[in-house]
Amino acid sequence: MFDQNQVQPWIDSLQEIFRNSRSNYNNLLQMEKDIQQISTFLEDYANLRYALDASAIVAVTDTSGKIIYANQKFCELSKYSTEELIGQNHRILNSGYHEKGFFGKMWRTINKGDIWEGEVKNKAKDGTFYWVKTTIVPLKDQDDKPIMHIAIRTDISEGKLAQEKLVEALQNDFTHVVNSMNNLIFKVAKDPDEKFIYILNEGKLAYQLGLENEKMRNKRPNEVFTSEIANMLVSKYEQAFLGQPITYNYAYKDRQLLTYLSPIHRDGKVVEIIGCINDITELHHVQEEVEFMAFHDILTSLPNRRKFCDDLHHLMGKSQEKKEKIAVFFLDLDRFKQVNDSLGHSVGDQLIKAVAKKLKKGIRPNAEIYRLAGDEFIIIYPELTSTDMASKYAEEILSIFDQSIQLDRNEIITTCSMGISFYPEHGEDCDSILKKADIAMYAAKLKGRNHFCIYEQEMNQANEEALLIENHLRKAIDNNELELYFQPKLDLYTRKINGMEALLRWKSPMFGNIPPDKFIPIAEDTGLIIKIDNWVLEKACVQNKEWNHTCFSTPLRVAVNISPLHFRLPNFQQVVEDVLEKTGLDPQLLELEITENSFIDNIDECIECLEKLRKMGIVVAIDDFGKGYSSLNYLRKFPIQSLKIDRSFIHEVSKNREDIAIVKAITFLAHELNLKVVAEGIETKEVIDILEEIGCDEIQGYYISRPLPKQEFETIYRTWI
């Protein structure tokens, strides 16, 4: 069983005993005993070898795994000759069936001097496989250390191969069923190093994800997935191995995967976990969309009020730590209702989207914008150290609206009004801060729009007053609370009255005389201005018809201011025609004054309307010229007869050379276009002299006469004829 090298140590010991016996007789006696023991050992060894060779497959390896003995049965089973086996590492028989940890555990056992038992699948020389029941016994030296290993094997191939066929049949049936499913079924176990490994991966989803069984078997998570995903999976597997079912989802290869883990118990211990993975990508997208819709505005994709409150609450917590302010801007587009009513909701929606885009691009990087509702937006500026910063940011936002917005055929000029409140000084919750910003915004609208206001306590009263004015204004016409005043126009060449402007006044039983600049903005915001303007137009025509019949020596023209909203509604010219027909006034004795902004939003429709008015004989004038957004192109295109220079230029014309230059340029331009020039806001004779020298055609202002009620106007008219 052993070669010469293994017996040689015993022979060397005998020789040493013979050498020592020459000097000591007792050693001879001891030698005789040793020889008897060796004889007995060799006889026992021979018997043992015969018994083993006859009944078992025997091999001996050294501690490094090199084969130093193989009996005939071993050669027959492995189909290697003795010469081919001796000196080879035992790995020559490795079938590749067992995982790495299998043999590692075996070597750790026998290297400690313990006996190892197990079933091993080996590969013969001809490539066939066989199974052996193996017992490995370490042989130890005097220091109890293994010096070689005897492996005694029994051929169990027939039973194992039958078992494999049965398992394969069952697995094929199982695999067929699993692979017909759209999900992924997998099993996880632990290797000898207590690391998780995959022992099964089947299902259509496995192939779709590139995780089929052939690629996954006996692999650890970190050998398949990124470290981030692998660490997460290991954490879930550890929880499942504690005996509890686990559910989780994660993203992998652009898919959302929902996983269920169930522990498998054996003898009261979790030995494996089985998992089921479902592709929930579509459901996940739907959930994301639902969540997005819950926190975002559909039209602009901006965060909505709910998201605003969540974000503001979060910022409040951070602000308390840093002791900084949070500014909330409440922004409302000016005259948006008119755009909707005149151009339609489709254009209104386009305008909202365009404004949202401009705001998002124009605000500071640390700010966040939200759409509240309709034409209302909210902007949060966190980490403010002073109110001056908020004012600076508000000016930046107002400047965003300096440029017009082009929407298909419509060029729209829009402005905004803003209210600003601060946390924590104006409130400690979302609703109170938003309410204060809303109140401040309304105060900005009352200032004439395109303004911003920071909330003050007094604004509460002003807001309540505005609401009262709105309620009473709705009843003012029916209650005969409105009255027309008339301000004469003077021909600068003849120095005679050649017309008058009808101006609205409101004397409320509750509030007394309310200035137009206080109730007109409210009327425009609420849409009441349409009804009011129609009333003014009819009353002015009735009065002028009466005066031209009974009072005036020569026919005079009456001018009526028309809100821009009228030119955003269809068939305004029909409204005018109906009034003229009803009152009997000659169309040539009616002048309509419109602001520059009236025709900016819908140029083509406005031109068409003005052309029809001109054909009727009605005079059209541009009021407050130079204050808005006019261009030379508009003056060339529009069928207008006169320009009224804004009073802001006239007021300083006697003191400011620049204003003189502006008025002179406007006058020259108007005359070149065959337009009459009217200057309003005249308060001194010096201004009249300058305007006369410039060549202005008509003047109007307090120096000539303030606006007067009917009887007083008749009186002053007689003094000027």
3-state secondary structure 171-223: HHHHHHHHHCCCCEEEEEEECCCCCEEEEEEECHHHHHCCCCHHHHCCCCHHH
The Cα–Cα gap between 270 and 159 comes to 28
Cα distances from 124 to residues 107, 599, 665, in angstroms, run: 22, 98, 110
Domain with CATH 3.20.20.450 in the chain: 473-720
Estimate to the nearest angstrom the gap between the alpha carbon of 125 and the chain centroid.
65
The Cα–Cα gap between 469 and 652 comes to 34
Query: Rounded mean pLDDT of the chain?
Result: 83
Q: Could you tell me the CATH superfamily of domain 473-720? A: EAL domain (3.20.20.450)
For the four alpha carbons of 145, 149, 152 and 153, in that order, the dihedral sign comes to: positive
- Model pLDDT for residues 425-478, shown as the tens digit of each residue: 888 888 889 988 988 998 888 777 788 999 988 777 767 777 788 888 888 888
Q: What percent of the chain has pLDDT over 90?
A: 28
3-state secondary structure 391-443: HHHHHHHHHHCCCCEEECCEEECCCEEEEEEEECCCCCCHHHHHHHHHHHHHH
Residue 341's DSSP bridge partners are: none
Residue 326's DSSP bridge partners are: 423
Better pLDDT: 469 or 238: 238
The Cα–Cα gap between 119 and 117 comes to 7
Minimal CA–CA distance to 284: which of 255, 313, 309, 253?
255
The answer to pTM > 0.75 is no
536 pLDDT exceeds 90? yes
What's residue 37's pLDDT?
A: 60
Domain with CATH 3.30.70.270 in the chain: 300-455
| Identity at 17, one-letter amino acid code | I
What's residue 28's pLDDT?
A: 53
For residue 651, the 8-state DSSP code is T
The Cα–Cα gap between 572 and 615 comes to 14
Beta strand pairing call for 255-266 and 269-279:
antiparallel
- CATH architecture group of domain 300-455: 2-Layer Sandwich (3.30)
Q: What is the largest CA-CA distance in the chain?
A: 174
For 393-423, give one letter per residue: b (16+ CB within 10 A) or e: bbeebbeebeeebebeebebbbebbbbbbbb
| pLDDT average, residue stretch 400-414 | 81
- Model pLDDT for residues 197-210, shown as the tens digit of each residue: 999 888 888 888 88
Residue 546's SS3 state is helix
What's residue 456's pLDDT?
A: 87
- Model pLDDT for residues 137-149, shown as the tens digit of each residue: 888 887 788 888 8
Q: Which two tokens stand for residue 482?
A: 């409105």
Better pLDDT: 681 or 345: 681
Q: Is 66 exposed, middle or buried (0-12, 13-18, 19+ CB in 10 A)?
A: middle
Residue 333's DSSP bridge partners are: 416
What's residue 339's pLDDT?
A: 76
For the four alpha carbons of 110, 114, 120 and 126, in that order, the dihedral sign comes to: positive
Host H or E run for residue 488? strand 482-491
The Cα–Cα gap between 592 and 573 comes to 11
The Cα–Cα gap between 512 and 510 comes to 6
696 pLDDT exceeds 90? yes
Neighbours of 598 (CB within 10 A): 24
| pLDDT average, residue stretch 645-649 | 82
Host H or E run for residue 372? strand 368-373
The Cα–Cα gap between 696 and 664 comes to 9
H helix intervals, 551-602 = 572-583
What's residue 579's pLDDT?
A: 94
Q: Which two tokens stand for residue 561?
A: 């201011």
Minimal CA–CA distance to 105: which of 95, 94, 116?
116
The Cα–Cα gap between 637 and 630 comes to 12
What's the CA angle centered on 529, arms 525 and 534, to 5 degrees?
165
For 685-716, give one letter per residue: b (16+ CB within 10 A) or e: eebbebbeebebbbbbbebbbebbeeeebeeb
What's residue 585's pLDDT?
A: 94
Reported CATH class of domain 181-284: alpha beta
For residue 280, the 8-state DSSP code is -
For residue 567, the 8-state DSSP code is G
18 pLDDT exceeds 60? no
Q: What percent of the chain has pLDDT over 70?
A: 85
Domain with CATH 3.30.450.20 in the chain: 37-160, 181-284
Rg of the chain over all Cα atoms, to the nearest angstrom: 51
Contacting residues for 89 by C-beta, under 8 A, at least 6 apart: 64, 65, 66, 67
Cis omega (within 30 of 0) on the bond before 424? yes
- Model pLDDT for residues 463-519, shown as the tens digit of each residue: 777 778 888 888 888 888 999 999 999 999 988 999 999 999 999 887 889 888 888
- Within 13 Å of residue 135, how many CA atoms lie on the same side as its CB? 6
For 129-156, give one letter per residue: b (16+ CB within 10 A) or e: ebbbbbebbbeeeeeeebebbbbbbebb
641 pLDDT exceeds 60? yes
Q: Is 633 exposed, middle or buried (0-12, 13-18, 19+ CB in 10 A)?
A: exposed
Structure-token match 């206001």, residue found: 453
| pLDDT average, residue stretch 572-581 | 91
| pLDDT average, residue stretch 701-705 | 91
703 pLDDT exceeds 70? yes
564 pLDDT exceeds 80? no
The Cα–Cα gap between 77 and 468 comes to 108
Asked whether 233 and 197 are in contact (CB, 8 A), the reply is: no
Minimal CA–CA distance to 307: which of 228, 397, 378?
378
Q: Which two tokens stand for residue 292?
A: 């997005």
Least confident of 8-12, 165-169, 327-331, 691-695: 8-12
265 pLDDT exceeds 50? yes
| pLDDT average, residue stretch 667-672 | 88
What's residue 4's pLDDT?
A: 47
For the four alpha carbons of 354, 360, 361 and 363, in that order, the dihedral sign comes to: positive
Asked whether 48 and 71 are in contact (CB, 8 A), the reply is: no
161 pLDDT exceeds 80? no
Give 37-160's CATH code, choosing from 3.40.50.970, 1.10.486.10, 3.30.450.20, 3.40.50.300: 3.30.450.20
Minimal CA–CA distance to 347: which of 274, 403, 434, 414?
414
The Cα–Cα gap between 329 and 395 comes to 12
Cα-Cα-Cα-Cα torsion 584, 587, 590, 593, nearest 10 degrees, comes to 130
Least confident of 353-357, 472-476, 538-542: 472-476
